[in-house]
A and B are shown apart, each in its own frame.
Chain A
Amino acid sequence: MSTAAVVDRWPLVGRWDALEACEAAIADCDGIVLFGAAGVGKTRLADELGARLETGDRTRLRAVASKTAAATPLGALAHVLPPGPDAYARAAETFAATRPVLAVDDLHLLDATSLTLLAQLVANGLVFLIGTVRTGEPAPDGVDALVRSDRVVRIDLDALTRDDVDTLLHLALGGPLDGATAASLWNASQGNVLFLRELVLGARAADTLTDVDGVWTVTGPLASTGRLNELLAARIGAVDPDGVSLLELLACCGAVGLDDAETTVRLDTLAALEQAGLIALTVDERRRSLALAHPLYGDILRAAMGTLRARALLTDQVARVAARGARRREDPLLIASWQLEAGAPADPALVLRGARLARGAHDFAQVERLARAALRVDETSAEAAQLAGEACYELGRFDDAEAVLGPADDVCERNGDGSTVACDLAIVRAQNLTWGLSRLSDGLAVRGRARARGTSEDDRGVLLAGEASELMFIGPNETLALLASEPPAAESRASVARAIAEAPALAFVGRTTDALVIAHAGFEAHGALGDVVAMAHPGTHVIAQVVALAEAGSLAEAGALAQFVYDVGVADNVALPRMWGSLNLGRVALLMGRPVSARRWLMECAALARPFRPIRRLALSGLAIALSMTGDAAAAQEAATELAPTPGEETFVAPELWLGAGWAALANHEPERARDLFEQGADEAAGRGYRTCETWLLHEIARVGAPERVAARLLAAAEHCDGVLVAARAAHADALVRHDADALAAVAEEFATSGADLVAAEAAGAASDAYRRDGDSRRATALQERSAALLALCEGAETPSLVTAETVVPLTRREREIAVLAAEGLASKAIGERLFLSARTVDNHLQRVYTKLGVTRRADLADALKRRGEQ
């Protein structure tokens, strides 16, 4: 029996179930992730799997994540990725043909950039991932997302069973154990392979596990599980000082090249450490490197090491790699991560490269950290300031953003710096001033100054387009006027930025067809541009399409596209597309008449957009509408209180916000005030060029009982707009004024075709009332049923015009409003106060209502007034 077997690699035992599950999964997935406690044998099984998959042309790439490598984006993966700036594109190109096996140990320690890249590679079937994750430790969201994808199978590894432990010991020791020995090793290890191995190696070294007549027998005490860390520490402690410094180096730096190790320790020390099972040598096609045999060793070593010692080791390693020329392509990033970990000033160029990588993965916290590290070394770097400022902006910390961007931009201005980097810096600063800090004039001034000194046509075009976008704070008329003053840009970035400004402006002035064309072209051009700095997320173009589709009345299509943007925002982990996506999902739900869905989306948007006040206000306005429709008056009021800008704030006040204010008043039974608010909004919208919004606001007045007040104006406004929804709004108000049953029935179907089911139900109900009055009870019943069917889609929405009275003599608008309030239990005086009437007038109206409805008491009013669809 050979004792060499003790330190050799132990055989794989007791993992046949797991292996079978993995092999079953291999055929129809793109990755397997093994979960389990430290020391349970994840890496061993991952190795076995990797070896099975590595056949023919298919290579295996190996990476180990660690806290140190995570200091720079892609730190742990750098050595397996092809060189080049766009990591994903390069990897896709290189891996597409062979689809290599990518084995990554300790996925939970990867940085966000690596996790994003990994998820993309797996999702597109470019690699087969074999990962391990240590349970019992916090794992980043990215791991969860990766494992939840249906392309990846999660396999959990438990500790070995008692029988497996017996078998493993028998095979590893090369012979039988006596019963007591097997039992004590089982008790101490509880099936954890690493602990079992440590116990055996420790007992062998202490000569307490010996071969007695061909049977392995324990002759002294074994360490208990609780003492295992001490046991590991003791084993490390037994290494000579030379060896310890190598172990410490590995604990700090992760893997190091064999040639680096050879310069620090003698070869026989290396051999002894390997023999003792403390370090492991991996040989890849490109290099031979050393690492600790198990991550737990690193934990123990780092815990025992002082900060200064760690810094010294990291700094020495940086010097060694730099001295041999840092010629491997992963070296620069490794050096930067070691320098950052050591708290030493790092090469700003490398750190910026890391920041750009992190930006590609939308890991803005990491971008900020790295960009600030670069700024510490070179505080004049405009690019570092721009990246740091943009990260703060994306994270909603606008004051911090301005603190970085402001001084850097001022320096560029003083130096007359018209470079692209300086222009990008100004763009980010202006965006932060306008959208973040609600300082529109300052934002426009920053852009104007940069435009004056910008040297490239393209940069000036981008600045101008951004200015046009921000003029949406005033209105689409201003945006379009500025764009019209300059010829369309030929340069690629400028034309993309122009589309971002132009498409939504066109949609809001009612030219939805033109808007769709421009937004589509912008999206295509943006895709060709790649992920460039100082440019909105590509999803912005899709949002412009959503707005255009919604204004045009293609609600289902608008909703599907908004969902797409929202999903992209979630997948890319970027807040802004998620905000715009949820806002528009809510807005479309409101137009369709789905208050419950609208509430869900708008609450999410309002929460996400807390620092982004312009977006949050739009969400709250919509929320007030949704809450009013579901009868939650108090919450609707609450949502509407935040709509007005605070004094001194130059913010985006969309006329659409009047909708929320008006509906909050409706929820409070103040129809008169609601109509006034809607009208003020419509006037503001008309003045600023928000044509479609003007028609929405006017249409609300028609729906709340005063079609005669708006019908003519709606018809005039609709002349300027190309969508079916706007046309239907105008036709609806007109038909209500004329009590035209046929026209109302036709309008109901136009709304229904758009997907605007709630207003379709209202129109059908009004048509039914009109037919009944005309004495056509057959059609009246049919339209009543149609109205009920449409209303059934509307998640229990309640609106004033859904309250009807089963009577041949129609109630006037005034009578109906008073009847509704009285039915709710309000006294005549209170009703009068809301409607600006005297109590006596209210009583007079009520008497007529009683007569028309055939009731004698207030208590019977509620029964006589029914919600449509509740017959």
Chain B
Amino acid sequence: VTPEDIALVIASIEQLRGDADAVVARFYERLFELAPDARDLFTIDMAIQRGKFFAELDTIAHAIPNLDTFVDRASRLGTEHARRGVTNRHYRAFGQALFDVLSDTYGDDFTPELADAWRRAYSLVSDSMQRGAAVR
């Protein structure tokens, strides 16, 4: 993940902040299409879950530049997710859903650079979360 990637992703999150509720709602809609069993992973009210999701995305993306903090946070997050039953298959579905919703939201503005940046960032985040869950 290059510094440019990080900047692009953080800028993108700022752009989405105003419309966060709708974007996150569409994200979960898409996720449950891709992985219907993912519904069972969320036991709390989906409205609260949606709020938590954007906050976490915001925090972790901003954490990338400071690797130690980032790895620490991702590990804890990964462990929590594993406890809820999230597996590798779900990570792939999450990534796909996120990508689809971003592509949908941006339309023609979803440039190859922005797409690459998001994809690499997600790879770093999801990989670090899974390692956090794995290394017990």
Query: A164 to B127, Cβ gap below 8 A?
Result: yes
| A845 beta carbon closer than 8 Å to chain B | no
Query: B131 to A1, Cβ gap below 8 A?
Result: no
Q: Which of A13, A14, A52, A176 contacts B1 (CB 8 A)?
A: A176
Query: B127 to A176, Cβ gap below 8 A?
Result: no
Query: A163 to B128, Cβ gap below 8 A?
Result: no
| B4 beta carbon closer than 8 Å to chain A | yes
| A796 beta carbon closer than 8 Å to chain B | no
CA distance A400 to B28 in the complex (A): 76
Counting contact residues on chain B (CB < 8 A from A), the size range is: 20 to 34
| B6 beta carbon closer than 8 Å to chain A | yes
| A407 beta carbon closer than 8 Å to chain B | no
* With known contacts A11-B131, A16-B130, A179–B124 Cβ distance under 8 A: no
Query: B4 to A16, Cβ gap below 8 A?
Result: no
Query: B123 to A12, Cβ gap below 8 A?
Result: no
* With known contacts A166-B120, A166-B123, A177-B2, A171–B89 Cβ distance under 8 A: no
Q: How far is the CB of B42 from chain A (nearest CB, A)?
A: 21
| B12 beta carbon closer than 8 Å to chain A | no
Which residues of chain B from 66 to 119 have a CB within 8 Å of any chain A CB? 67, 71, 87-89, 91, 119
CA distance A171 to B3 in the complex (A): 14
| A182 beta carbon closer than 8 Å to chain B | yes
Q: Which of B64, B71, B88 contacts A17 (CB 8 A)?
A: B88
| A170 beta carbon closer than 8 Å to chain B | yes
Q: How far is the CB of B88 from chain A (nearest CB, A)?
A: 4
* With known contacts A12-B131, A13-B127, A171-B128, A20–B87 Cβ distance under 8 A: yes
CA distance A14 to B123 in the complex (A): 9
Query: A167 to B124, Cβ gap below 8 A?
Result: yes
Please give, as numbers and ranges, the residues of chain A lying within 8 Å of B87 by CB-CB distance. Answer: 20
- The proximity string for A residues 165-198 relative to B, scoring 1 for CB distances below 8 Å and 0 otherwise, is 0110011001111110010000000000000000
* With known contacts A1-B67, A171-B71, A178-B2, A16–B88 Cβ distance under 8 A: yes
Q: How far is the CB of A187 from chain B (nearest CB, A)?
A: 16
Query: B2 to A215, Cβ gap below 8 A?
Result: yes
- The proximity string for A residues 1-36 relative to B, scoring 1 for CB distances below 8 Å and 0 otherwise, is 100000000011110110110000000000000000
Please give, as numbers and ranges, the residues of chain A lying within 8 Å of B131 by CB-CB distance. Answer: 11-13
Write the chain B residue with the least CB distance to A183: B2
Write the chain B residue with the least CB distance to A11: B131
Q: How far is the CB of A54 from chain B (nearest CB, A)?
A: 12
Query: A16 to B91, Cβ gap below 8 A?
Result: yes
| B134 beta carbon closer than 8 Å to chain A | yes
CA distance A179 to B120 in the complex (A): 12
Contacts between the two chains (Cβ within 8 Å), count = 61
Q: How far is the CB of B38 from chain A (nearest CB, A)?
A: 16
Q: How far is the CB of A172 from chain B (nearest CB, A)?
A: 11
| A860 beta carbon closer than 8 Å to chain B | no
Write the chain B residue with the least CB distance to A51: B135
CA distance A233 to B80 in the complex (A): 45
Please give, as numbers and ranges, the residues of chain B lying within 8 Å of A48 by CB-CB distance. Answer: 134
Q: Which of A19, A171, A178, A182 contacts B88 (CB 8 A)?
A: A19
Please give, as numbers and ranges, the residues of chain B lying within 8 Å of A13 by CB-CB distance. Answer: 127, 131
Query: B67 to A175, Cβ gap below 8 A?
Result: yes
Summarize B's interface: helix, strand, loop or mixed: helix
Please give, as numbers and ranges, the residues of chain B lying within 8 Å of A17 by CB-CB distance. Answer: 88
Please give, as numbers and ranges, the residues of chain A lying within 8 Å of B128 by CB-CB distance. Answer: 167, 171
Query: B134 to A163, Cβ gap below 8 A?
Result: no
CA distance A421 to B92 in the complex (A): 66
Query: A215 to B1, Cβ gap below 8 A?
Result: no
Q: What number of A residues sit within 8 Å (CB to CB) of B?
A: 26
CA distance A17 to B88 in the complex (A): 6
Which residues of chain B from 1 to 23 have a CB within 8 Å of any chain A CB? 1-6
Q: Which of B88, B91, B119, B124 contacts A170 (CB 8 A)?
A: B124
Query: B88 to A179, Cβ gap below 8 A?
Result: no
CA distance A164 to B130 in the complex (A): 13
Please give, as numbers and ranges, the residues of chain A lying within 8 Å of B4 by CB-CB distance. Answer: 179
Write the chain B residue with the least CB distance to A21: B88
Write the chain A residue with the least CB distance to B126: A16
Which one of A17, A163, A174, A178 has the highest number of Cβ atoms from chain B below 10 Å of its Cβ? A163
Write the chain A residue with the least CB distance to B130: A16
Please give, as numbers and ranges, the residues of chain A lying within 8 Å of B134 by CB-CB distance. Answer: 12, 19, 48, 52
- The proximity string for A residues 45-71 relative to B, scoring 1 for CB distances below 8 Å and 0 otherwise, is 000100010000000000000000000
Query: A166 to B1, Cβ gap below 8 A?
Result: yes
Please give, as numbers and ranges, the residues of chain B lying within 8 Å of A215 by CB-CB distance. Answer: 2-3
CA distance A164 to B4 in the complex (A): 18
Please give, as numbers and ranges, the residues of chain B lying within 8 Å of A170 by CB-CB distance. Answer: 1, 67, 124
Write the chain A residue with the least CB distance to B91: A16
Query: B123 to A164, Cβ gap below 8 A?
Result: yes
CA distance A310 to B134 in the complex (A): 43
Q: Which of A164, A174, A182 contacts B2 (CB 8 A)?
A: A182
CA distance A175 to B131 in the complex (A): 17
Q: How far is the CB of A47 from chain B (nearest CB, A)?
A: 12
CA distance A512 to B1 in the complex (A): 80
Please give, as numbers and ranges, the residues of chain B lying within 8 Å of A19 by CB-CB distance. Answer: 88, 134
CA distance A215 to B65 in the complex (A): 10
Please give, as numbers and ranges, the residues of chain A lying within 8 Å of B65 by CB-CB distance. Answer: 176
Query: A14 to B88, Cβ gap below 8 A?
Result: no
Write the chain A residue with the least CB distance to B71: A171
Query: A163 to B119, Cβ gap below 8 A?
Result: yes
CA distance A170 to B3 in the complex (A): 11
Query: B130 to A167, Cβ gap below 8 A?
Result: no
Write the chain B residue with the least CB distance to A166: B120
Query: B123 to A167, Cβ gap below 8 A?
Result: yes
Q: Which of A1, A14, A20, A179 contacts B127 (CB 8 A)?
A: A14
Write the chain B residue with the least CB distance to A18: B88
Please give, as numbers and ranges, the residues of chain B lying within 8 Å of A214 by CB-CB distance. Answer: 3
CA distance A170 to B74 in the complex (A): 14
Query: A163 to B120, Cβ gap below 8 A?
Result: yes
Q: How far is the CB of B2 from chain A (nearest CB, A)?
A: 5
Q: How far is the CB of A540 from chain B (nearest CB, A)?
A: 53
Which one of B91, B124, B128 has the highest number of Cβ atoms from chain A below 10 Å of its Cβ? B124
Query: A16 to B127, Cβ gap below 8 A?
Result: yes
Q: How far is the CB of B52 from chain A (nearest CB, A)?
A: 23
Which residues of chain A from 454 to 496 have a CB within 8 Å of any chain B CB? none
CA distance A170 to B131 in the complex (A): 14
Write the chain A residue with the least CB distance to B68: A174
Please give, as numbers and ranges, the residues of chain B lying within 8 Å of A12 by CB-CB distance. Answer: 131, 134
CA distance A175 to B5 in the complex (A): 13
Which one of A19, A52, A178, A179 has the highest number of Cβ atoms from chain B below 10 Å of its Cβ? A179
Interface residues of B (CB under 8 A from A): 1-6, 64-65, 67, 71, 87-89, 91, 119-120, 123-124, 127-128, 130-131, 134
Task: List 6 interface pairs A-B (beta carbons < 8 Å), by A numbering.
Answer: A19-B88, A20-B87, A20-B88, A167-B127, A170-B124, A176-B3
Interface residues of A (CB under 8 A from B): 1, 11-14, 16-17, 19-20, 48, 52, 163-164, 166-167, 170-171, 174-179, 182, 214-215
Given contacts A12-B134, A176-B2, A176-B5, 15 further A-B contacts (CB under 8 A): A1-B67, A13-B131, A20-B87, A48-B134, A164-B123, A166-B1, A166-B123, A167-B127, A171-B127, A171-B128, A174-B67, A176-B3, A176-B65, A177-B2, A214-B3
Pairs of residues from A and B, 8 with the lowest C-beta to C-beta distance, nearest first = A163-B123, A16-B88, A20-B88, A179-B2, A167-B124, A167-B123, A167-B127, A16-B130
